[in-house]
Amino acid sequence: MAKGYWVSVYPAISDRERLAAYDKLAGPAVQAGGGRVLSLLPSLGGRVVAHEAGIPQRVVLIEFDSFEQAVAAYESEAYQKALVAFPDGVERDFRIIEGID
């Protein structure tokens, strides 16, 4: 069974404090849904080398054991509560994708 991934790219963040409040709710919801954070850059001081468009923006990559599990975690009550806290001052491009076996 192919793994599932959440891929989030943040082109603009104007309210880091409110984003941190969302992160505090989203983290436990993701873990409860079986997700494992593989990348949270550059927020945790990791390195980024930007090519093409050249924007070293925040990127979050979360792995799930299956695509279905990734979708279910997004649709979970706990994550939906976290989304309510998602700040208006943050632009995010979010996708759930299926991995390759």
Q: Per residue of the chain (101 residues), what is the pLDDT tens digit?
A: 899 999 999 888 888 888 889 999 999 999 999 999 998 877 666 778 888 877 778 889 999 999 999 999 999 999 999 999 988 889 999 999 999 97
- E strand or H helix at 19, and its extent? helix 16-32
Q: Rounded CA gap, 38 and 88, in Å?
A: 25
Q: Rounded CA gap, 17 and 4, in Å?
A: 29
Query: In degrees, to the nearest 5, what angle opens at C-alpha 78 toward C-alphas 30 and 76?
Result: 80
Q: Rounded CA gap, 14 and 12, in Å?
A: 6
CA atoms within 13 A on the CB side of 60: 19
User: Domains (ranges, CATH) in the chain?
Assistant: 4-98 (3.30.70.100)
Q: Rounded CA gap, 98 and 7, in Å?
A: 11
